[in-house]
Amino acid sequence: MSAPPRPEVAGELILSGLTWRPYTRAEPTVAALELAIPAGQRVLLAGASGSGKSTVLRALAGLLEEEAGEGTGLLNAPERPGERALLLQNPAHALVSATVARDVAFGPENAALPRPVIHDRVAAALPAARADLDPGRAPLEASGGQQQRVALAGSLALSPDVLLLDEPTSMLDAATAAQVREAILAAAEERTLVVAEHRIEPWLPRVDRLVVLGPQARVLLDVDAATALDAHRAALIEAGILEGPVDEPPAPVAPPSSSPGRAAEVVAALDGVTVPERGITRAVDLEARAGRLSVLTGPSGAGKTTLLRVLTGTARPALGTARGPAPDHLAVVPQDPEHSFVAPTVREELLASPWAEDEQLADRLLERAGLSALARANPHRLSGGEQRRVAIAAALAQEPELLVLDEPTVGLDARRRAEVLDLVGDAAARGCAVLAASHDPALIARAAERVELPSPPPEDPAPPRPRRRIPADALNPLTLCLIGILAAIGSFAVQTWQGGLLALLPLVLLGPLAVRSVRGGLLRLAPILLSAASLAWTTALLGEAPPLSGAAWLLGLKEAARITVFVAPGVLALGSVSPTALGDALGGRLHLPARPVVAVVLALVRVGHLGRQWEIITRTRIQRGLGTARSPRLLAGATLALLVDTLRGAEQQALAMDARGFAAATHRTWAEPSEFGRADVLGVLLGIALLVWPAVAAVLVA
């Protein structure tokens, strides 16, 4: 690979003959691109889906790696961490820590800045990004707009010369998008700004230049942003950036006039529904009628997806009732269409559900959706717009009475959006009741009925209620690790069932020291106790003593006690440790390599997120009639889908981390110290006691 000389002016970007072909593609995604951006210029990068905008942003950030593809004209990596900040489309991929403050501190840590400087950078970056969140809050629990601003703050903490943003507002409602846009523009003062977006109108008055990309990132248009709409509207329509002119506003989709009785039929309804824990405190009434498109709209966080779940029977309201068709007459398309894919080819995907039996209908849907040429393609390898059309066509192949769609047009260019809207309109025209949750004005304009949810209630500005303090909070995570290790070593002294039971006594004392609630402690111990019971049964059945005899059960009891003594103290002790504090101890105190330490912390932070992904994947498969929650085949397929989804998310997270200097961080600091105190001396003594107690117990019962 070759690279041009690095620009000498801070913030200047020059791509000269950039060509890039990922190893997974036969043709380059970018071919011979010439692009020069002076320092301090604001550039809007537009183009149809698949035109290479994201690849160009990665190239400008210097983050196209030789392991992923081959190319020429690549920019070198930045000289200092965060010099060119890259923000991904999904802000959740950029969040790497358990709290807002530590997430913003991640970049300065990679730059090996002193702790006082890191704290100053965090304190300055949050208000600069207009991220008005408690620094101790978990960022993954914030709304999409708040997450986008936290990600922006994380980039600003490194004082970048360049801001590169990949569709930062595509997943937000208009009001939230405007807030994020203002935060970005305010942060971009005196910096070079490059924004990739499908919806260009809100950005054009605030940027200097519009660059439109075509296939393989070929420059179709490079013009002054102020005159782009007036002087180049036809070219923008041709490129799929703007929708073409219409003679009259789109009429609401209604059934054919020959079926008035069918049109009046209510297929599904919500009556007085509230879900306060999801912000839906006002009663919601909604009807989905045959042959009509209904839209559920409202700001981000208003509860649109929650109401769809209530209507489809996968969530319960606090008040009110929901009624809808039987499962075999219902089809649901999730916001991420890949969560519903189960087949290796597009055509097989349309016929995967047992309720999709008409192969001729599937072929007609392929043709109508413009997917005939992709019938043998793997749906996971298609573009975003193609994947949405596959998911909708697969839903229609079930011939449902009710079609439910969650944000079906998010992230699509004007041409792909029109194709999806045409599919939705066709479904309604054939008599299907269609209900979509969306904040897309084009989709809302086509709706016959519209239900707008109010803004969610404002969050309590008071700080979150602190967790109940326990003695284990005073111990360094390394001390807690030592307690678990010493207890595990001591368990090998258990040789009789009497000694095993006696060795369990310290657990009664350890529990109150390391557990915040009885329920939490039982949840931690439940897998251990189940494993111990299983081991006791297996030993009693297959051990050396006669099967299921008294002696066999006592032998099983000894093994169950030993495994409990081996595992339980460590689980109880480490269950109270914060992932971030554990990372500080492993990296800052033991000086272990940063990459595996950060990977462990990130995995612990995202355990809850994996649970949500698993719930979405299994629910989608159940709704397609592919099995029940206990079906081995469904669970196996969902496990594979979760693994694939996790690996793809990890790839994006690694990219976001590298954009904040993680890849080049040969030495890093940690924002908080990992200190030892007097309490740790007592913790070490406790660990020694757990080490020797099983041996003492064995002597006592000998």
The whole-angstrom separation of Cα 297 and Cα 437 is 6
Number of C-beta neighbours around residue 554 at 10 A? 17
Q: Domains in the chain: how many in total? A: 3
CA atoms of 620 and 353, how far apart (whole Å): 11
User: Residues with Cβ < 8 Å from 497, sequence gap 6 or more?
Assistant: 554, 555, 557, 558, 561
Q: Tokens 């320092």 belong to which residue? A: 39
User: Quick one: pLDDT at residue 175?
Assistant: 81
Q: Give me the percent of the chain exceeding a pLDDT of 70.
A: 93
pLDDT at position 210, please? Answer: 95
By CB atoms closer than 10 A (0-12, 13-18, 19+), residue 230 is exposed
CB atoms within 10 A of CB 318: 12
Which of 36-45, 143-152, 251-260 is least confident?
251-260
Angle at 492 between CA 510 and CA 548, to 5 degrees: 95
Looking at the structure, do residues 482 and 579 belong to the same domain, yes or no?
A: yes
Tokens 């792909």 correspond to 416
Residues 700 and 556 reside in one and the same domain: yes
User: DSSP secondary structure string, 406-424?
Assistant: ESTTTT--HHHHHHHHHHH
Would you place residue 458 in the very low, low, confident or very high pLDDT band (cuts 50, 70, 90)?
low
Cα gap 587→642, rounded to integer Å: 29
Query: Could you tell me which residues are beta bridge partners of residue 195?
Result: 44, 165
Pairing of strands 402-406, 13-22: unpaired
587 phi and psi angles, rounded to 5 deg: -85, -45
Q: Which residue has the higher pLDDT, 5 or 369?
A: 369
Average pLDDT over residues 3-24: 73
Mean pLDDT along residues 204-225: 92
Please give the C-alpha separations between residue 489 and each of 460, 505, 506, 559, in angstroms, as whole numbers: 47, 16, 15, 15
Q: Looking at residues 623-631, what average pLDDT do you find?
A: 88
- CA angle 375/380/382 to nearest 5° reads 60
Structural domain containing residue 443: 260-452
In-domain check, residue 689: yes
Tens of pLDDT, residues 127-137? 888 888 888 88
Q: What is the mean pLDDT of the chain?
A: 85
CA gyration radius, the chain: 29
Could you report the per-residue pLDDT of 80-125, keeping only the tens digit for each?
888 888 988 788 888 888 889 999 999 999 988 999 999 999 999 9
| Domain termination residue (choose one: 398, 422, 452) | 452
- Taking the complete model, does pTM exceed 0.85, yes or no? no
pLDDT tier for residue 35 given thresholds of 50, 70 and 90: very high
- Range 496-518 average pLDDT: 82
| Least confident stretch, 140-149, 454-463, 551-560, 577-586 | 454-463
Same domain, residue pair 442 and 484: no
The C-alpha atoms of residue 350 and residue 362 are separated, in whole angstroms, by: 6
Measure CA 361 to chain center: 34
Rounded CA-CA distance 167/46 in Å is 10
Is residue 334 situated within a structural domain?
yes
Say whether both 514 and 541 belong to one domain: yes
Confidence at residue 263, expressed as pLDDT on a 0 to 100 scale: 52
**Distance in angstroms (rounded) separating the CA atoms of residues 514 and 507:** 10
Bridge partners (DSSP) listed for residue 406: 437
Write out the E strands in 7-124: 13-22, 30-37, 42-47, 69-72, 84-87
164 shares its domain with 84 = yes
For 552-567, the DSSP string reads: HHHHHHHHHHHHHHHH
Distance separating alpha carbons of residues 339 and 380, to the nearest angstrom? 10
Last-in-domain residue among 391, 422, 452? 452
Angle at 534 between CA 529 and CA 537, to 5 degrees: 125
- Asked if residue 336 belongs to a domain, the reply is yes
Confidence of residue 259 (pLDDT cuts 50, 70, 90): very low
Which one, of 140, 129, 131, lies nearest residue 98 by Cα? Answer: 140
The percentage of residues in the chain with a pLDDT greater than 90, rounded to a whole number, is 26
User: Which has the higher per-residue pLDDT, 639 or 463?
Assistant: 639
- The band of 6, judged by pLDDT with boundaries at 50, 70 and 90, is very low
Q: Are residues 503 and 441 in the same domain?
A: no
E strand or H helix that includes residue 120: helix 115-128
pLDDT in tens, 333-372: 988 888 889 898 999 999 999 999 899 999 988 988 888 8
Based on the fold, state whether residues 201 and 334 are members of the same structural domain.
no
With a CB cutoff of 8 Å and minimum separation 6, the contacts of 701 are: 496, 498, 499, 502
pLDDT for 69 equals 87
- 426 and 482 housed in the same domain: no
642 found inside a domain:
yes
Q: Label residue 57 by pLDDT band (50, 70, 90).
A: very high
Same domain, 480 and 411: no
Q: Is 385 exposed, middle or buried (0-12, 13-18, 19+ CB in 10 A)?
A: buried
Are residues 505 and 433 part of one domain? no
Cite the DSSP H helix spans in 543-606. 550-574, 579-583, 594-605
Is-contact 562 494, C-beta < 8 A? yes
- At 514, list the tokens: 């390391």
Name the pLDDT band for 467 (thresholds 50, 70, 90). Answer: low
Residue 464 placed within a domain: no
Tell me: do 445 and 477 sit in the same domain: no
Sign of CA dihedral 296, 301, 302, 307: positive
- From 193, 109, 121, select the one nearest 159 (Cα to Cα): 121
Judged against a pLDDT cut of 90, whether residue 44 lies above it is answered with yes
- Enumerate the H helices of 291-413 as residue ranges: 304-311, 346-350, 359-368, 384-396
Q: What is the pLDDT of residues 411-444, one digit of tens each?
A: 778 888 888 888 888 888 888 999 999 888 888 8
| Residue 3 predicted with pLDDT over 70 | no
pLDDT given for residue 509 in this prediction: 75
* Measured CA angle at 214 (ends 210, 220), to 5 deg: 50
What would the pLDDT profile of 681-699 be if each residue is shown by its tens digit? 999 999 999 899 999 988 8
Residue 418, Cβ density class (10 Å: 0-12 exposed, 13-18 middle, ≥19 buried): middle
Q: Judge whether 232 lies within some domain.
A: no
Residue 272 shares a structural domain with residue 384: yes
pLDDT band with cut points at 50, 70 and 90 for residue 146: confident
d(CA 644, CA 344): 14
Mean pLDDT of 494-515: 83
Residue 144's CATH number = 3.40.50.300
* pLDDT on residue 456: 67
Q: Is residue 234 assigned to a domain? A: no
Residue 647 lies in a domain: yes
The Cα 651–Cα 624 span in angstroms is 29
Choose one of 217, 251, 272: the last residue of a domain: 217
pLDDT for 633 beyond 60: yes
Which has the closest alpha carbon to 327: 623, 669, 628, 662?
Answer: 623
DSSP 457: P
Per-residue pLDDT, averaged over 645-650, amounts to 81
